[in-house]
Amino acid sequence: MQRKHLILAVFVTAIWGLNFPITKLGLAQINPLLLTAIRFTFAAFPWVFLVRKPNVANRWLAAYGLIFGVAMWALINLGISMGVPPGDASLLIQFSAFFTLGWGVMLFREKLMASQMTGIVMAAGGLIGILHGSPGKATTIGFALVMVSALAWSIGNVVIKISKVREIFAFVVWASLIPPIPLFLLTWCLYGTQPFAALASHVSAVALFSLAFQVYAATHFCYWGWNLLLREYPASTVAPLSLLIPVFGTLSSISIVHQVPNTASWISIALILSALLIILGKRRPGPGSGSEGLDSTSPECSIPPERFPRRTP
């Protein structure tokens, strides 16, 4: 990978990692469902007037919009608002990799290589270690919601694969039209008019910064950057770099929301990095050595490369 592209990849994963504690800043002032609805409203407008609709059936746009906006990010935000530390949320969402590999084996008859299995075991051990040593007092329900969001993300990968979409940025923009309406309705049904009435008084510079970061940095810029990398390089080279997301998420949480990992968590982070090195060092299978499958790419992006030997959320 060229140096400029490696810098772009690290920058993208850093932004996605930063997005978790920065989202928590917004959640401190805005209802989690309402914040998610506003995020996708601005992710869609005014861009739908500037970006041509992708050449896919409307049912795939609707399905992905509901999965990505409602089943994934609304649940992540709810989990964080219930006490899941943002660094832990950035780790939990990585379990979508294992769900995605499961879908690939079941639906696309993929076969896992020995190096993949080694990396999976090491990464899973690192993720579990950080969660076990977390100083945060998250609720069980909050953890469960984030885990469900990881499952939803993996299902979103199936939708991306089956739809065969190639205009990823346009797909995300147009799919973002779907989540706001059900999210606004859910907010009203679950919380009444209070979140809407309090919105004007609760919107501060910090909340606006959090919202702008989620829309323009974590969604629009990172989708473009990751898609560019996957056009230039094999998925086996680019995708594993997303394992840096929980590392950046954990480190940024230290300074932003003061979530400080203990010694066991630092060891777990090192284990994740070791797993990353093993997966990156894996030789890509030659033509005919496997079938097309699935790959998850980040908490914010799922792109279908030509072959999916391993993971990326």
**pLDDT per residue as tens digits for the range 102-125:** 776 777 676 777 877 887 788 788
Task: Please compute the mean of the pLDDT values over residues 34-52 and round it to a whole number.
Answer: 95
pLDDT of residue 306: 41
Q: Can you spell out the DSSP letters for 254-287? A: HHHS-----HHHHHHHHHHHHHHHHHHTSPPPPT
Please name the amino acid found at residue 311: R
Tell whether the model's pLDDT for residue 286 goes beyond 50. Answer: no
Is residue 292, in this structure, part of any structural domain at all? no
Asked, for residue 160, whether it belongs to a domain, the answer is yes
Could you tell me if residue 298 is inside a domain?
no
| H or E, element range at 37 | helix 32-44
* Integer Cα distance of 247 and 17 in angstroms: 7
Q: Is residue 103 part of a domain?
A: yes
150: in domain: yes
User: What does pLDDT average to over the chain?
Assistant: 82
CA-CA distances (angstroms) from residue 285 to 236, 240, 290, 294?
10, 16, 7, 15
**What's the domain range around 11?**
3-280
- What are the two backbone dihedrals, phi and then psi, of residue 307, each rounded to the nearest 5 degrees? -140, 150
pLDDT of res. 108: 67
Establish if 179 belongs to a structural domain: yes
Whether 313 maps to a domain, the answer reads: no
In angstroms, the CA 126 to CA 103 distance is 22
CA distance 27 to 105: 37
Report how far residue 152's alpha carbon sits from residue 144's, in angstroms, rounded to the nearest whole number: 12
Residue count of the chain:
313
Helix (H) or strand (E) segment spanning residue 87:
helix 86-92
- Looking at residue 214, its amino acid is Q
**pLDDT tens string 131-163:** 776 655 667 788 889 989 989 988 887 787 788
Distances from the Cα of 147 to the Cαs of 140, 202, 265, in angstroms? Answer: 11, 29, 19
Position 61 in a domain? yes
pLDDT given at position 310:
40
Write down the pTM of the prediction.
0.81
Number of domains in the chain: 1
